[in-house]
Amino acid sequence: MSGPVTQNDRITNLDTVRGIATLCILIMNAVMYGIGDASYYRLDALGTNNVIDWIVGIFGEIFIDQKAMAIFSMLFGAGIVLFADRAVAKGKRHIPLSLWRNFLLLVIGGFHAWLWEGDILRIYAICAPILLLLRKQKPKFLLLLGGGMFGLAILIGVATQLTISDPVNELGGGYWLEDGVMSDAVGLWFISNIGLRSLGAMLIGVALYRIGFMSGEKEKSLYTRTAIWGLSLGIPLATAGVIWQAVADYKTDIAIVGQLPNDAATMPMALAFISLITLWDKKPTTPLHTRIRSVGQMALTNYLTQTIIGVIVFSTIFERGELGRGAVAIFIILVWALQLIWSQAWLTNFRFGPSEWMWRCMTYRKLQPIKRQNSK
């Protein structure tokens, strides 16, 4: 009873959504691995050299940027509740166990940040106690609170833009960190924007897990309606943000507010994507379903190995900034293929990914069995 969840207890829809989110988050992060920080925030920055680069960049901005992170955050919120509920069912002291588990995640995030500054695990670990405190609140309250945090992040962005009087020096020199240092006000906006959006998505994830939406328990018609609503609202908003910044030639006077339409589009599109993935997960299982679920079961391992591969490739084989967005897209596809192959192969013989296994052993402070019983 002290061990982690067994294979038979897994919620396949969560694994499928998590698997696709893990693969898609590489689209966001690979730009920072391979090109540079400014290129993540601005389509006209280094790495956009031709029509293919523009197409790849615009597609990523509209459909992937922030949306993959929002789904990842919602899944983390659902995971906090799932872990705590199962600990209670096993007669464990779920609060100390959950806090210890997320302290370990903070340590893992610190290691990851040492490799690459874009780590998100530390923010998740810091937010975890808030989720534990609020996890028993009614879903409606959690939805309103989570949505309110997204709204607050947008308002802070508008206010911060209005306070900028010397854009060249306040926006990080190269307009988002290629050189120079951001002002305190802009730095505070960066931190609050990421933190509020992450925590807001986590709270929404808790609410949606409580009502059975995240685990795929609702009727198909609800997921269909959500997908139509989310895409109908989100795509025009995200597209408007891209057009606004391009028409304004990425001037510093819209550096922050030009990104806010995409912020507003994030949650509708994330909910739409979860709905589409759920509808696909409900179809008869195919080899692709199995491979993606395997990626989801090993999400922590795959997230960390994406960084390890990216840092190695773009510090030894290529120099950072040497490739355009189109070439980085090829790198992404190759990493996807590797993770789709190796995740299923690993889980054929082992119960957990290597990082997941070590995290579980440290959580329960007891060596957990990793080999499958049918493995030699």
Highest mean pLDDT among 10-14, 54-58, 372-376: 54-58
Residue in the structure block whose two tokens are 């992450």: 198
Residue ranges with strand state E in 44-150: none
- Please tell me the distance from the alpha carbon of residue 128 to that of residue 108, in angstroms, as a whole number: 14
Highest mean pLDDT among 33-47, 68-82, 87-101: 68-82
Structure tokens at 181: 């240092």
Once rounded to an integer, what is the mean pLDDT over residues 161-176? 72
Residue pair 62/96 in contact by the 8 Å Cβ criterion: no
pLDDT recorded at residue 4: 46
Ordered by start, the domain boundaries in the chain are 7-364
Tell me the backbone φ, ψ of residue 179, rounded to 5 degrees.
Answer: -155, 160
| pLDDT grade for 170, boundaries at 50, 70 and 90 | confident
Structure tokens at 98: 């959950």
Q: Which pLDDT tens digit goes with each residue over 205-251?
A: 999 999 999 999 999 999 999 999 999 999 999 999 999 999 998 88
pLDDT recorded at residue 341: 98
- Give CB contacts under 8 A, 24+ apart, made by 239-244: 239/62, 241/61, 241/265, 242/43, 242/58, 242/61, 242/62
pLDDT above 50: residue 1? no
Q: Which pLDDT tens digit goes with each residue over 27-41?
A: 999 999 999 888 888
pLDDT above 90: residue 275? yes
Mean pLDDT value across the chain? 91
Between 170 and 256, residue with greater pLDDT: 256
pLDDT above 60: residue 8? no
**How many C-alpha atoms does 40 have within 13 Å on its Cβ side?**
18
- Cα distances from 187 to residues 125, 160, 198, 253, 310, in angstroms, run 21, 10, 17, 17, 26
- Please tell me the distance from the alpha carbon of residue 236 to that of residue 233, in angstroms, as a whole number: 6
pLDDT recorded at residue 353: 97
| pLDDT grade for 175, boundaries at 50, 70 and 90 | low
pLDDT above 60: residue 3? no
Once rounded to an integer, what is the mean pLDDT over residues 86-115? 93
pLDDT recorded at residue 178: 55
pLDDT recorded at residue 213: 96
What is the percent of the chain where pLDDT is above 90?
A: 78
